[in-house]
């Protein structure tokens, strides 16, 4: 059986009517044009189906056949040998609207997953490209601007700094505390070793162990470079290309431009757990009862029933974290004696409220 088709010989833009024969057993097409017979093997042809029009191109010739007969198109679809990619392409072109919408949703899902799951993880690991000396640069730049607009409680700052200085910290960098006059129940740490504590959170504490837990927790965020890691996660799409090409200068420039996020960073569950673990270990090393960590979390969590303390918005406390702190403390078989000097400093701090 023969079917009518249009033939473009590649020498002119004019089409020619030809009768096309299909021989499925031989997997070829044959036709006559200008007194000559042509036979195209299907495995040497490229096919493109658009709007029920099949374009067949012979890979060795600059020539094409245009087929519109539905029976021939159907027949060719069953016998032609094409690449898997071509088969997939044609299948998608011929698929209905529902399939196209489903595919679009699937692709968008992959893109969103990469953007929110894969890239942030890669960006966080790019922190090793940033020298630790840069932590001080970016922290100093933010702190100098921030502190100008805040009211420092110098008396409480001195007592809090003395409290911190009594603690033994393995990290050799310098840590500094500033107490800010504010009812906000908040505290945060900067990558340069600066810790900011609001009078509002001190007012909620009832023991020196709680203050030690807060300082130990914030110290762990600093020593583990959590602020820089979270900045990298938040800026993942910007940092990805720079990380691929190990462009440290671009990474550092992007982080510097977004240093204003340091105060309000919300740490991931993994990083908070790491800060909890390291903070508890620091308390143990200083002979301070680590139950103070659970007490601090429980007290702040109870405050959340009336309102959300700002500390919890950036350091979300879950029942799981409270349970972990309690369990870790209960696992210890040692007794902790009262740290007289720390208690004295804490009591003085509370008397200045």
**Strands 187-189 and 2-8, bridge-based pairing:** unpaired
Q: Are residues 78 and 174 in the same domain?
A: no
Of 61, 87, 113, the residue at which a domain comes to its end is 87
CATH number of the structural domain spanning residue 59: 2.30.29.30
- pLDDT tens per residue across all 353 residues of the chain: 678 889 988 888 888 888 887 555 567 888 888 888 888 887 788 888 777 888 888 888 888 989 888 887 877 776 654 444 445 555 655 566 676 677 677 666 655 554 555 555 655 566 666 778 888 888 898 898 889 889 999 999 999 999 999 999 876 678 999 999 999 888 999 999 999 999 999 999 999 999 999 999 999 999 998 888 887 776 665 555 555 555 556 656 666 666 666 766 678 788 888 999 999 999 999 999 999 998 988 887 776 554 455 555 556 666 788 888 888 888 877 788 899 999 999 999 999 98
Q: Are residues 194 and 297 in the same domain?
A: yes
Does residue 161 sit within a domain? yes
Report d(CA 207, CA 15) in Å as an integer: 92
C-alpha dist (Å) from residue 97 to 35, 93, 102: 45, 10, 9
How confident is the model at residue 205, as a pLDDT? 94
Token digits of residue 81: 């040998």
How confident is the model at residue 83, as a pLDDT? 42
Of 32, 60, 87, the residue at which a domain comes to its end is 87
- Three-state DSSP class for residue 50: strand
Residue 320 structural domain: 123-351
Q: What is the CA radius of gyration of the chain?
A: 35
Task: Give how far the C-alpha of residue 136 lies from the chain's centroid of Cα atoms, to the nearest Å.
Answer: 24
- Three-state DSSP class for residue 28: strand
Q: Under a CB-based contact definition with an 8 Å cutoff, are residues 310 and 184 in contact? A: yes
Q: Are residues 65 and 191 in the same domain?
A: no
Does residue 166 sit within a domain? yes
Does residue 94 sit within a domain? no
Q: Are residues 229 and 293 in the same domain?
A: yes
C-alpha dist (Å) from residue 156 to 152, 241, 340, 352: 9, 45, 18, 7
Q: Are residues 56 and 130 in the same domain?
A: no
Q: Under a CB-based contact definition with an 8 Å cutoff, are residues 205 and 296 in contact? A: yes
Q: Are residues 219 and 289 in the same domain?
A: yes
Q: Are residues 6 and 144 in the same domain?
A: no
- Three-state DSSP class for residue 177: strand
Q: Are residues 166 and 284 in the same domain?
A: yes
Q: Are residues 248 and 167 in the same domain?
A: yes
How confident is the model at residue 179, as a pLDDT? 97
Report d(CA 209, CA 339) in Å as an integer: 9
Closest by alpha carbon to 140, among 191, 209, 71?
A: 191
Q: Are residues 280 and 152 in the same domain?
A: yes
Does residue 25 sit within a domain? yes
Of 87, 104, 138, the residue at which a domain comes to its end is 87
C-alpha dist (Å) from residue 239 to 19, 136, 261, 267, 316: 59, 20, 16, 18, 26
Does residue 116 sit within a domain? no
Does residue 97 sit within a domain? no
How confident is the model at residue 85, as a pLDDT? 40
Does residue 101 sit within a domain? no
Closest by alpha carbon to 156, among 213, 127, 197?
A: 197
Q: Are residues 62 and 132 in the same domain?
A: no
Domain count, the chain: 2
Q: Are residues 82 and 18 in the same domain?
A: yes
Does residue 80 sit within a domain? yes
């Amino acid at each position: 059986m023969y079917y009518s088709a249009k033939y473009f010989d590649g020498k002119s833009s004019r089409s020619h009517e030809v009768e096309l024969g299909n021989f499925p057993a031989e997997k070829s097409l044959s036709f006559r044009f200008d007194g000559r017979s042509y036979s195209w093997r299907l495995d040497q042809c490229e096919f493109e189906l658009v709007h029920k029009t099949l374009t067949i191109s012979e890979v060795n010739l600059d020539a094409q056949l245009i087929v519109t007969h539905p029976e021939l198109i159907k027949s060719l679809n069953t016998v032609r040998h094409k690449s898997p990619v071509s088969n997939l392409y044609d299948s998608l072109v011929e698929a209905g609207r529902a399939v196209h919408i489903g595919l679009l949703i699937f692709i968008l899902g992959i893109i969103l997953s990469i953007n929110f799951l894969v890239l942030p993880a890669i960006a966080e690991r790019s922190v090793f490209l940033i020298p630790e000396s840069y932590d001080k640069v970016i922290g100093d730049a933010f702190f100098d601007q921030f502190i100008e607009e805040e009211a420092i409680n110098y008396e409480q700052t001195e007592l809090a700094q003395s409290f911190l200085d009594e603690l033994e910290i393995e990290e050799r960098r310098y840590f500094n505390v500033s107490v800010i006059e504010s009812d906000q129940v908040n505290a945060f740490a900067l990558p340069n070793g600066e810790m900011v504590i609001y009078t509002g959170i001190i007012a909620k504490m009832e023991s020196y162990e709680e203050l030690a837990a807060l300082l130990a927790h914030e110290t762990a965020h600093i020593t583990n470079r959590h602020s820089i890691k979270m900045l990298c996660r938040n800026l993942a799409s910007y940092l990805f290309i720079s990380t691929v090409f190990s462009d440290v200068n671009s990474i550092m420039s992007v982080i510097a431009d977004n240093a204003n996020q340091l105060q309000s960073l919300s740490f991931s569950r993994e990083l908070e757990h790491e800060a909890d673990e390291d903070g508890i270990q620091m308390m143990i090393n200083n002979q301070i009862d680590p139950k103070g960590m659970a007490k601090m979390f429980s007290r702040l969590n109870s405050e959340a029933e009336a309102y959300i303390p700002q500390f919890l918005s950036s350091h979300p406390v879950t029942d799981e974290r409270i349970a972990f702190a309690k369990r870790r403390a209960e696992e210890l078989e040692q007794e902790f004696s009262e740290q007289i000097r720390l208690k004295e400093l804490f009591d003085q701090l509370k008397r200045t409220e």
